[in-house]
Amino acid sequence: MIRNEPGRTGRRILIVTDAWPPQVNGVVRTLQSVRGELTEMGYVVDVIAPDRFLTLPCPTYPEIRLAMPAPGAIGRMISAFEPDAIHLATEGPLCLSARRWCLRHGRPFTTAFHTNFPDYVERRTGLSADWFWPYFRWFHGPAQAVLTATPSVRAELHRAGIRQTHHWGRGVDLAQFSPDGESHPAFADLPRPILLYVGRVAVEKNIDAFMALETPGSKVVVGDGPARSALEARHPDVHFLGMLSGQVLAAAYRSADVFVFPSRTDTFGLVMIEALACGTPVAAYPVMGPVDVLTEQTGAMSEQLDQAVAQALALSPAACVAHAGSFTWRRSAEQFLDSLHWLDRAALPRAA
């Protein structure tokens, strides 16, 4: 096995993931963006994702479809593609099958810790996160590297006994998310300041903390999820716009006065740098994700979220835009490449 060698284009990279469109989340956006950069750099990238298989709705998350591959299907796909490097992006059924094939055939692979599922499950079920960490130690244990987005995530994994971590940062599409452009018409007549939440409308996102803010102005929610109908019924004063994307989403970001990120469990929070790129400062709790992404000039963090909102209102939009410019998908793709462990085909037995 050899590490990445800059300039060795034409090599074949396989990404296996249980998160892929029509899912809309940070994992999907990251994989799609990095795949695009790798292709532009000359690598051949294939993705084994749920769109190739029969799927079933995930319990409590019907919008998320879990793939049910036939026995041996993943192995046949891997063999047919003949990858030079393999990355398993998630800890679900497809990546479990790929992991099994890699171990059986002695193939190196990398993994990533995108989502803090132990904490998510604890918030949804009340069961201790400690019950779930053994599975994640088992899953990531054989990986040559476990990719993490921030120092906080790396420290969390080290505490859990997963130590072979490698930094893999995130990016933002600066051509799409910028302070220049149209405003969203739904914001035009709302009392200011306007507080914006973008993301999944679900309990693990701690969106109740956003709803509970007793600040002047207006609240706007962009996104969908299992908690939306109940929240709309309880909070008729909050404006729910549903799912937005592209330039319409960028218009929503730039039309707000503060972007509120109430999650305590996200490993990064792509929506924060999208908001910053549009010139909108962030208010958040001082937890994993915000403490790694925000600076004193671009975000306010406090255990009292209303205080963070008040402080964020005074921050400079220009500073937010400048900071967001340091997050690029090309840099993210280069970090991803540096983490991969490549197959040395000359060392393989002829039968392989």
For the chain, the first-to-last Cα distance in angstroms comes to 15
User: Residues 255, 272: one domain?
Assistant: yes
Range of the domain at 309: 185-326
User: Residues 6, 134: one domain?
Assistant: yes
Radius of gyration of the chain (CA): 21
Model confidence at 37: pLDDT above 50: yes
pLDDT tier for residue 119 given thresholds of 50, 70 and 90: confident
24 vs 150 pLDDT, higher one: 150
User: Residues 206, 257: one domain?
Assistant: yes
269: closest CA among 285, 295, 289, 252? 289
pLDDT digits (tens, 9 = 90+) for 254-309: 999 999 999 998 989 999 999 999 999 999 999 999 999 999 999 999 999 999 99
User: Residues 310, 334: one domain?
Assistant: no
User: Residues 204, 67: one domain?
Assistant: no
User: Residues 309, 341: one domain?
Assistant: no
User: Residues 337, 307: one domain?
Assistant: no
Q: How many domains does the chain have?
A: 2
Is 204 inside a domain boundary? yes
Is 278 inside a domain boundary? yes
pLDDT digits (tens, 9 = 90+) for 52-109: 998 887 766 666 778 888 889 999 999 999 999 999 999 999 999 999 999 999 999 9
User: Residues 153, 257: one domain?
Assistant: no
Do residues 194 and 217 touch, judged by C-beta distance below 8 A? yes
Cα 38 to Cα 334: distance, rounded to the nearest angstrom: 8
Is 242 inside a domain boundary? yes
What's the pLDDT at 2? 38
Q: What is the CATH number of the domain that holds 341?
A: 3.40.50.2000
Is 178 inside a domain boundary? no
Find the mean pLDDT for residues 157-176: 96
User: Residues 306, 336: one domain?
Assistant: no
User: Residues 191, 321: one domain?
Assistant: yes
Write the secondary structure of the chain as one string of H (helix), E (strand) and C (coil). Answer: CEECCCCCCCCEEEEECCCCCCCCCHHHHHHHHHHHHHHHCCCEEEEECHHHCCEEEECCEEEEEEECCCCCHHHHHHHHHCCCEEEECCCCHHHHHHHHHHHHHCCCCEEECCCCHHHHHHHHHCCCHHHCHHHHHHHHCCCCEEEECCHHHHHHHHHCCCCCEEECCCCCCCCCCCCCCCCCHHHCCCCCCEEEEECCCCHHHCHHHHHCCCCCCEEEEECCCCCHHHHHHHCCCCEEEECCCHHHHHHHHHHCCEEEECCCCCCCCHHHHHHHHCCCCEEECCCCCHHHHCCCCCEEECCCHHHHHHHHCCCCHHHHHHHHCCCCHHHHHHHHHHHCEECCHHHCCCCC
Is 176 inside a domain boundary? no
What's the pLDDT at 4? 44
Residue 195 tokens, joined: 């507080």
Is 180 inside a domain boundary? no
Is 96 inside a domain boundary? yes
pLDDT digits (tens, 9 = 90+) for 186-208: 999 999 999 999 999 988 899 99
Is 190 inside a domain boundary? yes
Cα 284 to Cα 305: distance, rounded to the nearest angstrom: 6
Share the mean pLDDT of the chain: 92
User: Residues 167, 18: one domain?
Assistant: yes
- Count of Cβ atoms closer than 10 Å to residue 323 Cβ: 18
User: Residues 253, 124: one domain?
Assistant: no
What's the pLDDT at 57? 78
Calculate ∠ Cα 149-155-160, nearest 5°.
110
What's the pLDDT at 343? 87
Q: What is the pTM of this model?
A: 0.89
What's the pLDDT at 7? 44
Model confidence at 118: pLDDT above 60: yes
